[in-house]
Amino acid sequence: MDTPEHIQKILDEDNDEWLSTKPEERIIRFYETDKPYGCFSNFSKHPILLKGKEWATTEHYFQAQKFVGTEHEEEIRFASTPMIAARMGRERDRPLRPDWEECKVQVMREALVAKVEQHPVIKSILLSTGDCTLVEHTSNDAYWGDGGDGQGGNMLGKLLMEIRDGLEREAFTGSS
């Protein structure tokens, strides 16, 4: 988990070189939870409270919402790790909700907003990324990630940047 000292170290490292880089070249790649910006991963151990329930990770919440209102939702919520929750969510012998393709981005957005709002350290790290492009860098996922070669959809990174932009607008206008 990121500590205030860890955040400061990230911010201080190579600051001069970083600032001299063109904005379009400022890319932050994340994936592993124990690396810089790992808190952006859905597997990071930052529990969230949503719909009156506690979820161990955003991955638990996201996967369980594929089966909202069924016993599968609770089984996934109580999975011992985010990897197990992910595997359970991908099992196609479970009855996937019919509107999943239409609502999955919104489900991910609400999980990420909860994570950022409920964990001030993550909010601080997200805001510290400024105008950088955030990329979930993995060959394991070409929809939520970049596919490992930069050709994927990077929807997770796009949602994080959307949330960051909203936080910056709130700070600028003074509204919440």
Here the tokens at position 155 are 């929807």
Here the tokens at position 110 are 């609400």
What's the CA gap between 83 and 139, in Å, rounded?
A: 16
Q: Who wins on pLDDT, 151 or 2?
A: 151
Q: Which fold has domain 1-46+119-176?
A: Tetracycline Repressor; domain 2 (1.10.357)
pLDDT digits (tens, 9 = 90+) for 55-100: 999 999 999 999 999 999 999 999 999 999 999 999 999 999 999 9
**Residue 36 binned pLDDT confidence (cut-offs 50, 70, 90):** very high
**Residue 171 binned pLDDT confidence (cut-offs 50, 70, 90):** confident
**Residue 48 binned pLDDT confidence (cut-offs 50, 70, 90):** very high
Q: Which helix (H) or strand (E) holds 49?
A: strand 48-50
What's the CA gap between 35 and 8, in Å, rounded?
A: 14
Domain locations in the chain as residue ranges: 1-46+119-176, 47-102
pLDDT digits (tens, 9 = 90+) for 96-138: 999 999 999 999 999 999 999 999 999 999 999 999 999 999 9
Q: What is the pTM of this model?
A: 0.85
